[in-house]
Amino acid sequence: MLKACLNGARLPAEHPALPVTAEQVAADTVAVLAAGADMVHVHVKDDVGRDTFAAGTLARTLEATRAAAPDVRIGVTTGAWAEPSLARRLEAVSSWTSLPDFASVNWHEEGAEPLAGLLLDRGVGVEAGLWTVDAVRAWLDSPLAGRCLRVLLELPDESDEVAVLSTADRMIDVLRAGGADRSVLLHGEGAATWPVLRHARRLGLDTRIGLEDTLVLPDGSTAPGNAALVAAARAAG
């Protein structure tokens, strides 16, 4: 499975093709699906391009995207950077009137379990975002682990390819030793994006690509947009 991560926490000035509005997200979703993506992950944006959990903005984005691509599976973030207050994050998710198919929950962030539990109770699939070996262990110990849709192993922006792939393998080993039976999506950010994507392909794991993770193609040139990144990822195997 290849997921397109369309925008991330980036601001519009970071790339001219970064989708921000509901209409832009919808159009970009159509483009990445045509290029070979299987699903999309979106950070819903406010009027100035910052991440938001506002119910109305989320609904507009989901409705426009599903109108343009009726069969798309679409996920959103619940990252604490968009709303540091756990109480307000829980309140926001409770207020959603239009629901995504899945949402990522970063297990190292405060309140990951109650947030994941709320999403699951509302019928939203949970992707467990695991950024460290300690986060992998914490997730394995969680009573919600078996209810999660998949695991996201997320590798940081790291130029030392040997080091970053070693960390990825260590996280995978801990998952396997813990008896995890969820599907695993392995991806990197920044300089780690393409090495980790190729590693995921070698291991037969799901992965993702998009302007959230990198602005460049494998040859180092600036990507014109998400569809080009998806096409390059498909070409990478």
Instruction: Give me the domains of the chain, ranges plus CATH numbers.
Output: 2-235 (3.20.20.70)
Q: What are the C-alpha distances in Å from 213 to residues 5, 7, 10?
A: 7, 8, 10
pLDDT band at residue 237 using 50, 70 and 90 as cut-offs: low
* pLDDT one-digit tens code per residue, 58-82: 999 999 999 999 999 999 999 999 9
pLDDT at 40 over 90: yes
Structural contact between residues 224 and 19, judged by C-beta atoms closer than 8 angstroms? no
Q: What share of the chain is helix, strand, coil (3-state, %, to 5)?
A: 45, 20, 40
pLDDT band at residue 180 using 50, 70 and 90 as cut-offs: confident
pLDDT band at residue 165 using 50, 70 and 90 as cut-offs: very high
User: If you average pLDDT over residues 138-155, what whole number do you get?
Assistant: 95
Tokens 């014109």 belong to residue: 224
Using CA atoms, how far apart are residues 53 and 59, in angstroms rounded to an integer? Answer: 10
pTM: 0.94
Q: What is the pLDDT of residue 181?
A: 86
